[in-house]
Structures are given as C-alpha cells and as structure tokens.
Structure 1
Amino acid sequence: MASNMAPKQEQTFTLRLLVDREKNRVVVAEASGDFIDTLFSFLTLPLGTIIRLLSNNQQHDQPAELGCISNLYQSVENSSVEVFWNHICKEMLLRPQNNCEPLCRKLKLNVDDTESLRYFMCSNCKKGSNWLLSTFTGASCCSCGKSMDKEMKLLGDSEDETHTDGVFVKGEAMYFILDDLRVLQSSPNNFVKELTQLGYRNFHKLIDISPCVGLKEILDLLKQALTSKSALSDVFFAYGESLGMCTFSPKIGPKHEEPGFDFGVSINLKVILRKSKKKIVYAEAEGDFVDFLFSFLTAPLGSILNLLDGYSSLGCIDNLYKSVKELNSSRLTITRPSGTPLLDLRVAPQFSYRRQPLKLPEEDTPSYWYGRGLIKNSICYVNPNGVISKKRSLVENPDAMKLFDPRSPDGTRELAVGFVKRPSLFVVWDDLKVMPLANASSICFIQKMNLPLDDLEEHVLCIREVEALNLLRASLTSKAALTEGLSYLLENPNQDAKA
C-alpha cells in the first residue's frame, strides 16, 4: 500500500541579485531576515561540523580544506578508538554539539544536521540521591558498567520557548548582502551609498536576477565565506574570476614578561627543526598538546573570530561577524540577557578542553534534577519512569543528578582530563596531521622521513596564550601551521622552554 505522506519539501529562499553583466559579478543582493538568520548561523557552527558539512557537499572529489583544520579532522577519523578514553570522545570531535542548536532548529533552513541532545539513565541501577545522567548515546554506567539505555525526556526546558519574530534578526525586515558578505539594513540611502562607492552611477551595466537558493547553495556559500573575498559571485557565477583568499602571517610575540603577570596555562612542546629549510618538520607531543589541537574542532566559528578580534583572514567570514556587531541592535532578536548569542558564542558543555592556553569560553554545565513526577499547577503528575528537568521546582521530591563525562577514565566529572588517553605520545606534523606513537617503531619512523640526520635540531618551546593564538591563526590559513605559527620562537633562543 502506497504511503499518503508526501516527501518533505526542501526549504528554499528567493534572492534578488543585482549583477554586473559585463563582469559576471554580484554587486548586491537583497533578502529577507530568514536568509540572514541562516547566514549568521554559520558563526554558531563548530569547526569540526564545518569540515564535515563541506566534505559531504564536495563535488568532483575535491577535498574540503580549511588550512590545517581538515587534517586535524581526518586525524581523528583515522585514529583508532583506543587512542581516546572511549568511543564517545572520538564522536564528540567528529560531530561536536552546537551550543546554539535549540535556536538553529527554528531556522527556515538549518545547515547543521547534528543530532539534538538526548538524555539517558541506567535502567539497572537504583542509586537514590546519586542518579547518573548522560547526554551521550552509548555511555557505560560508572557503577555497574552496563549501558545507560533508558532514554528520558527533558521537561520544562526554557530553550523550547518559541520565537515568532526571527531567530537572530527581526524577520519582518529586508537586508542587503554585499559580495564580500557585509550585511546592511535595506534602505534607499544605503543602496545609493554602496553602489556609488563601488563606482556605479546608473543601472546601465546592471541586471536583476532572482535565483532560488537551497541547501546546496547555502553550503557553497559557507565554503566561499571561508575561502573567497567574493562569496556571492563565486557561488552564482562560478566561472567568474575569484578574488581569492588572503593569507595570514602570525603576529610576532609573545608578550614581554612582566613581574607578577599571570600567563595562565602553558604547554611545553618538543619540535624538530630542519635547519637548512628553517622549517619545523614535526613535534613530539603528549596528550595535553594534542587535546589542545583537537579542541579547535569543538569551538564555534564565531567564538574563534572573537578570540582573533574579528581578523582571521579567512575569506570574507570576518565581514559577516563584523556585520553582527555593526547592525542596529533594534534589528537583532534578544535571546539572552546580555544580547544576541552571536557575539558571545561558547563551546557546548562538556565539549571543551580546559587545561589549555586559549581562553575559549565553555557554556556552564546545567544542573539536572530527577523526581517521581512533574509538578504543574501545584498538582504532581506521577510518572512510573520518573522525570528529569533543569528546573528543580518542576520535579516532585527532586534529587540532584550527577552528569556522566566522557573526558575521563571512568566517566566522572571530577576526573575529566581531555579526549585522548593519558599517558600517550604523538607525532604532530607541520600540517597538523596527528599520529599516535603507541607500538610504533622509532627506527622506521626516522628512516621513512629520509632526511639528513645532521640537519635535524631539537627545540623545546613553551606554548602560552599568545603562541596558542598564533598557532590557531596559522592552522586556519596555512598548510604549515607549526612553522608559520611557531618558528619565530626559534629565532629567539630565550623563548625555548627548559626541557
């Protein structure tokens, strides 16, 4: 019997493009707030999600590349589960949680296909006041070792409140998008000003087109936003001349030491330099440095841009971020007391690596409560399976729950370390390909490099906040992140750490 259910129709946008017909370039686009919401949602995506989405959308076997970040992602993919504390840690890096996922679910077109949070308890244990909760599928109970397979529904979550007037921007307004992804409020004055600055005195060379934009075009826009200075033209006129991507030269640092200045967390890193080429060949790294690198994958793009003061040199994504800051606040929906979340993006709870030099903010882990029933209008509705909520007042006889944390040997938050097992040793190549050294032959490793042994020189560097920022910048824009991000330290012997 045939199903009466029609297939779900893909959501699309209709853009109005003003095109220079001689140059085959988009001069300006006009779109509704729904489209701008989807554009701004790019900022909420963790880097690991971006690599995965672009890889799934690639054509003609062209790999999705973003500096060395793609190599980091592939290193996680290619690593055995035994490298990590458990299979969940590997999955966390490959499919990181978007901290704005509840908001992105409300988008007309949401590019992030990451699964929403689910909640699990152990059906075997009856722990009274020490109920254990996991937000990860396939977690093993810390007490009995059995799978936490009892799925629970979270009740009374304030994030489920509906927004009828747009997600990130007010839905009733129209907006201009320039070829370099600057977003402006649509107004006659802004239109005249922008066209005049671009050298157009009339409409003689300009034509109107109205393409239909679906998921493929949106993902193409995401890719071009990170690799091109003319994102709209490169998507809608792929045969046109691209302005290309700006390379970035890391700042020369670090900060000069001052008495009493707190440099925060630091990591010592042993690097092998090829003297004749002045290139770092590889680093011999322990788990803390590898976790630091892997944590790039769980960080939202907007959070990274904020760390870099909006200057990543990645395509034209910086313009999208600056547009959020420069838009009139009356055009932004306020979803937090502090304002739009786009300017305060955080790593999702339990997805960060805290023992590292970068100050990437992590969302506070919420408290969860378990009880025998839901309280509504002073009446308790008993549930035989019990109920969980972030709001203690909604639960009958509430007990605080303990949260399972995959980033530890036994799933306890108190022992949370990182994603990879300790102790462990890795080789990190200049392009940030990561290879575990467990059971590897050092003799074979050196032989395969086929480099003159007397051309290799060892240095131990101290990676603090400034060095970490330089390495992050280089990893986004370079194919030789260690050399581009850290080699300046080798020119100043005083920056070498004591081995």
Structure 2
Amino acid sequence: MASKQEPKLSLTLLVDKERNCVVVAEASGDLIDILFSFLTLPLGTIIRLVSKKQGHDEADEIGCINNLYQSLENSGDEVFWNHICKRMLLCPRNPCEALCQKLKVKLDDSKPMKYFMCSSRCRRGGDWFLSTFAEASCHCGKLMDKEMKQHGDSNEGTHGDGVFVKGQTMYLIFDDLRVLESSPGNSAQQLVQLGYKNFQKLIKRSLNVGIKEILDILKHALTSKSPLSDVFLGNGVSKRMCAFSPKPRPENQGWKNYNSMINIKVTVRKSKKTILYAESEGDFVDFLFSFLTTPLGSILKLLDGNFSLGCMNSLYESVKDLNPSWFTNPSGTPLLNLRVAPQFGCKRQPTQLCEEDTPCYWYGTGVIKSNICYSIGNGVVSKDHSLIQHPGAMKLFDPRSPNGTKESSVGFVRRPSLFVVWDDLQVTPLANTSSISLLQKLNVPLDNLEEHELRIGEIEALNLLGASLTSKAALTEGLFYLLRKPKEEAKD
C-alpha cells in the first residue's frame, strides 16, 4: 500500500534580490489558517514541537520557558496527584482542538480528545463518572478505560470553507507575518510604502510548503522579525527580537483578587542584585506550570503590547485588523478570546486568564452527550436530532484533585509540598533534597544572601510571565523591581 503523501500548500514569494529578503508573499486562506493557528498553541506544545523537530539548540529557546518544561520532564510522578497531571502539562490541550483538526497541515501531533468510563459503569452519588484521560482511576479501584462514543459535535465550529478564514481567498503575508487581504490596490499600496515603485529589483518564487517549513516558520517567528527570509532564503539565525519591561504596581492601586494572591520567599545575592531562587509551596509551581498550558494568543492579549516576542505580535494584530467578513465564523473569530482548555488551568490564578467552561455531559444507551444538546420531555436531543431517553447526568473526572472530583480540585502538584524555583525557572522539589547541598551548590558567601517575602498578585504575575518568555533570569527580571528602594530606582 502506498504511503499517504504529505500535504503541501502553495506559497508565492516576492524577493528583493539585492537585499536577499522576502518583501511580501501571497497564499490562500489554507496557509493563513495554519499561521493563525500558532496563536492557539499552548506554550508547552510549541516547545515540544519545535524541540522535537529542530533539536535543542540556542535558537530554539524561548526565554527560560524551556527550562520550566525540562524540569517538568525530569520530575517524578510522585510530585503530582497522579501520572495524568504530568502528562497534561507535557502535552497540553489546544482550546481550538476541534477546529485545528481541520487544518490542511496539522502542526500539533496530540491525539484528539476521547472519553472513557469505568467498565463497571460505577456511580457516585447517583452520577456516572466520565474521564477525558485514559487510565484514570475510578473510585471503585478499576481503571476508567472503556472508550465511549461522543455524539453530535463532529461539525462544531465550521462555517463553510476554511477554518479561521475563508479558504478560497488570497492573502498577503509580509516578512514579519503581518497579514492583509490580497487585492491589486492593497499590493500596489504596500509595495510603494516599502519603497518599491516597480518590479525591477523583485523576483517571484513559487514554493510548496509542508510541515517542515511551517515548523521552521513557527520557530523563527518566536524570536525574529523576518521569519520568511530566515526560512526560505537561508539567512540563518536572525538577531533575537524579544523584549519586555516589568510594569510596576501604581502606588494608589490596591490588590485585586486577594484570594488568588500567592506568597513566596526569595533569596537575593546582595552584591549583584539578583534573585538566586524562590522557595514556594505548590500554588506558585502550579502557576508557573500553567504557563505551559496557556495559548500563545492569550498571553499576547494579557500582556497587551508591553511585550515583544519575535513577530507574533504582528500576527495577533493582523487578526484584530482583518475585516470580519473574511473570517469563516460570522459571530466572530475565537482567536481574539482564547482561554485555557477545560481542566488545564491554574486553580489559583493571579491573572485574569480563565479556562474554558467545562461542558455538561449525559449518559444513555452507551452514548456521551455534551452541552450542545437540549432537553425535551424525558429525553435529550442532539444537533443531529437523535434522542436519548432518560439520560443520566455525568460528572467529569478532574486529575487536579486527590480524589478526582471537581469540588476537591486544587492544582497539578501534590499538596502539601515545597519547591525551590531557580532564577532561570528550573524547579527542584524539596522532598528528600538536602538544603545544605543546595546552598553549597550556589557557591555564594552566606553573608551575601538576603531573604525577602513577596506577594504575587495580577501585575506581578504578568511581569513574571513576560520575563519568562524573554529572559534567562525570569525571577530577577520579573520580580526584582519589587525589592528596590525608591532611592535605588531614582539612581537607575
């Protein structure tokens, strides 16, 4: 049997042959859908895809998020409530998974969501339990490994051709991934603005791009302002273009979401004015690990211009500026309001980032029914008008819990637990770890160490998130300003 041929998409480049750079490219909506899908990818997925395809080198690193991901890989299952929590963080779910499955070239190799029950169909408090993770443990002790069929939402989110934008339409793509509708007027205007009065210096190249080239674009787009030139003209690794400046809390602004604040202790090297490490409980580590489950588009929206990550800001702004009529969904694109996938969020979240609402499920005649259904009489009707008589309510197994129930859900890592988080976001569990050995490893005079207590609210959390994506010293870059005295700030 012949192997399935890798899908390829057409891309036309207009190249300045003297400067050896891509001036503009043109492609159909199928490729634009894939570029826009970059925004839906959780950070953990981006790290996994880029590292797996490209190898671990300096160009692949995004701030020090790679260290956080590697710490997660190196952590034992005993750090978490169960082995599922670790797997969730390593392979986080895309909130637009159903839509991204329809892309012509699929970047994410994660398996589509499935549904499982205990083979004994156990109940607790009159409700059946359902899991979206294989091998979750039922309260009866058996595994929830009986796969169930979901019914009725195979076409959810589709509106004609295309996934995010209309597929049978042409678009302009600039070297910084800015996207515009393609038209003769737009093309002429943009070329003139870029300094080209005619085509004498420009040559046209036609390409077919597949998964390798698209992953290369993703990799360079995270650090460069010219990913198309980098990938297709062999310009190599460009100068890194990532920047973030911590935003201090206004003096007259109080603490918001007091119950979501997180307390940590940091140890400072006084002579160099750097944070060496933080000591924390599970809430802070859960918050850091939740960076990996957060879609890139959500981060760009949260940091709202106070942050530059390659040319991803240009891509996000293109979504905001594109005429709504060019999107497939007449009610609005999901790309501007991305949330974390259900059950993948941080339970004690200092920022305004929320996870998607968990659907409601019913069980009857062996079929899972989600909240796309509506009730009628004693039954439930789905979008395809099939009816299940007397459906039973189902509760969803939540791995972020000591017993799998949503009510007792607290986070990914086991409580109580203590951790050391280093300046570059490497995480070390303190269980069975010698604190004396850790201090010896620092090789810093003990009288040069100073301990401070910090409170992480919304602004501090956003500063730490931004620093983690742009710096190799996230704690120092994101939080040290909290320790500066007014006189020091004036000198700086």
TM-score norm. by structure 2 comes to 0.93
Deviation at 1:191, TM superposition (A): 1.2
- Equivalent position of 2:432 in the other structure: 439
- Give the alignment partner of residue 132 of structure 1, picking from 119, 129, 134: 129
The residue type paired with residue 430 of structure 2 is L
- Equivalent position of 1:378 in the other structure: none
The residue type paired with residue 138 of structure 1 is E
- Equivalent position of 2:411 in the other structure: 418
- Equivalent position of 2:490 in the other structure: none
1:460 aligned counterpart, secondary structure:
strand
- Equivalent position of 2:368 in the other structure: 388
- Equivalent position of 2:63 in the other structure: 67
Change (3 A) 1:99 1:212: same
- Provide the C-alpha distance between the structure 2 equivalents of 1:340 and 1:90, rounded to a whole number of angstroms: 31
Deviation at 1:127, TM superposition (A): 2.6
Contact 2:256–2:457 (8 Å) recurs in 1: no
Contact 1:103–1:167 (8 Å) recurs in 2: yes
Deviation at 1:410, TM superposition (A): 1.1
Deviation at 1:291, TM superposition (A): 0.2
The residue type paired with residue 324 of structure 2 is S
2:144 aligned counterpart, secondary structure:
coil
- Equivalent position of 1:380 in the other structure: none
Give per-residue Cα distances to partners, 1:408-457, cap 9 Å, x unaligned.
Answer: 11111100000000011111000101010101111111112111111100
- Equivalent position of 2:273 in the other structure: 278
2:138 aligned counterpart, secondary structure:
coil
The residue type paired with residue 403 of structure 1 is L
Confirm whether residue 296 of structure 1 aligns to residue 275 of structure 2: no
- Provide the C-alpha distance between the structure 2 equivalents of 1:413 and 1:59, rounded to a whole number of angstroms: 38
Change (3 A) 1:349 1:214: same
Change (3 A) 1:257 1:268: farther
Aligned pairs (5 A) from 1:57-206: 57-59=53-55, 64-127=60-123, 129-142=126-139, 144-157=140-153, 159-160=155-156, 162-206=158-202
The residue type paired with residue 315 of structure 1 is G
Confirm whether residue 331 of structure 1 aligns to residue 331 of structure 2: no
- Provide the C-alpha distance between the structure 2 equivalents of 1:230 and 1:437, rounded to a whole number of angstroms: 43
Aligned pairs (5 A) from 1:449-464: 449-464=442-457
The residue type paired with residue 343 of structure 1 is L
- Equivalent position of 2:48 in the other structure: 52
Change (3 A) 1:310 1:112: farther
Deviation at 1:327, TM superposition (A): 0.3
- Provide the C-alpha distance between the structure 2 equivalents of 1:259 and 1:184, rounded to a whole number of angstroms: 42
Deviation at 1:261, TM superposition (A): 6.1
2:308 aligned counterpart, secondary structure:
coil
- Give the alignment partner of residue 351 of structure 2, picking from 349, 358, 364: 358
Change (3 A) 1:134 1:272: same
Aligned pairs (5 A) from 1:24-43: 24-43=20-39
1:313 aligned counterpart, secondary structure:
strand
Contact 2:257–2:457 (8 Å) recurs in 1: no
Contact 2:217–2:231 (8 Å) recurs in 1: yes
2:48 aligned counterpart, secondary structure:
helix
Give per-residue Cα distances to partners, 1:161-191, cap 9 Å, x unaligned.
Answer: 6543111001121000000110000012211
Change (3 A) 1:162 1:327: closer
Higher mean Cα deviation, 442-451 or 34-43? 442-451
Contact 1:46–1:96 (8 Å) recurs in 2: yes
The residue type paired with residue 114 of structure 2 is R
The residue type paired with residue 145 of structure 2 is D
- Equivalent position of 2:461 in the other structure: 468
Deviation at 1:65, TM superposition (A): 1.1
- Equivalent position of 2:311 in the other structure: 316
Give per-residue Cα distances to partners, 1:16-66, cap 9 Å, x unaligned.
Answer: 100011111000000000000000000000000000000111158667311
The residue type paired with residue 157 of structure 1 is D
- Give the alignment partner of residue 223 of structure 1, picking from 194, 219, 230: 219
Deviation at 1:125, TM superposition (A): 4.2
The residue type paired with residue 288 of structure 1 is D
Higher mean Cα deviation, 387-396 or 275-284? 387-396
Contact 2:59–2:237 (8 Å) recurs in 1: no
- Equivalent position of 2:399 in the other structure: 406
Change (3 A) 1:492 1:202: same
Contact 2:158–2:328 (8 Å) recurs in 1: no
Higher mean Cα deviation, 242-251 or 269-278? 242-251
- Provide the C-alpha distance between the structure 2 equivalents of 1:448 and 1:260, rounded to a whole number of angstroms: 36
Contact 1:264–1:464 (8 Å) recurs in 2: no
Deviation at 1:247, TM superposition (A): 2.5
1:270 aligned counterpart, secondary structure:
strand
What is the aligned length?
473
- Provide the C-alpha distance between the structure 2 equivalents of 1:260 and 1:137, rounded to a whole number of angstroms: 41
1:210 aligned counterpart, secondary structure:
strand
Deviation at 1:9, TM superposition (A): 0.9
- Provide the C-alpha distance between the structure 2 equivalents of 1:479 and 1:60, rounded to a whole number of angstroms: 16
- Equivalent position of 2:478 in the other structure: 485
Deviation at 1:462, TM superposition (A): 0.8
The residue type paired with residue 389 of structure 1 is K
Deviation at 1:238, TM superposition (A): 2.4
Change (3 A) 1:412 1:50: same
The residue type paired with residue 387 of structure 1 is V
Contact 1:285–1:428 (8 Å) recurs in 2: yes
Contact 1:388–1:395 (8 Å) recurs in 2: no
Deviation at 1:243, TM superposition (A): 4.7
Change (3 A) 1:259 1:429: closer
Contact 2:257–2:350 (8 Å) recurs in 1: no
Change (3 A) 1:62 1:272: closer
Change (3 A) 1:16 1:151: same
- Provide the C-alpha distance between the structure 2 equivalents of 1:480 and 1:103, rounded to a whole number of angstroms: 36
Higher mean Cα deviation, 132-141 or 303-312? 303-312
Contact 1:369–1:395 (8 Å) recurs in 2: no
Change (3 A) 1:264 1:182: farther
- Provide the C-alpha distance between the structure 1 equivalents of 2:13 and 2:259, rounded to a whole number of angstroms: 49
The residue type paired with residue 235 of structure 1 is V
2:136 aligned counterpart, secondary structure:
coil
1:199 aligned counterpart, secondary structure:
coil
Q: Which runs of 5+ in 2 are unaligned?
A: 374-379, 382-386, 488-492
- Provide the C-alpha distance between the structure 1 equivalents of 2:73 and 2:255, rounded to a whole number of angstroms: 42
- Equivalent position of 1:377 in the other structure: none
| Overall identity of the aligned pairs, in % | 66
